[in-house]
Amino acid sequence: MRRRTFLAAGGVLLGAATAGVVSRPSSNEELLTAAREPGDAGTASTTTEQLLSGTDHETMLYAIEAPQDGPTAMVFGGVHGDERSGIEVAHEATDWHPDAGTLVVVPETDRVAVEANEREGIDGDLNRHFPADGELRSELARGIWDAVERHEPDVVLDLHRSLGVYGLHREYVGQAVFHSPEARGAELADRLDSDAVPWYLPFHRFRAQETNESGSLLFQHAARELGASAYLFETTAFLLDHETKVETTRLATAHVLAMHGLLDGDRA
Average pLDDT of every residue of the chain: 92
Mean pLDDT of 227-247: 97
Mean pLDDT of 88-98: 98
d(CA 185, CA 249): 14
Are the CB atoms for 143 and 57 separated by under 8 Å? yes
Residue 167 makes CB contacts below 8 A (sequence gap 6+) with: 207
Dump pLDDT digits (tens) for 211-226.
998 999 999 999 999 9
The full set of domains in the chain, from first to last, is 32-259 (3.40.630.10)
pTM greater than the 0.85 cutoff: yes
Cα separations in angstroms, 7 against 158, 168, 180, 184, 237 = 33, 12, 34, 34, 19
Dump pLDDT digits (tens) for 48-88.
999 999 999 999 999 999 999 999 999 999 999 999 999 99
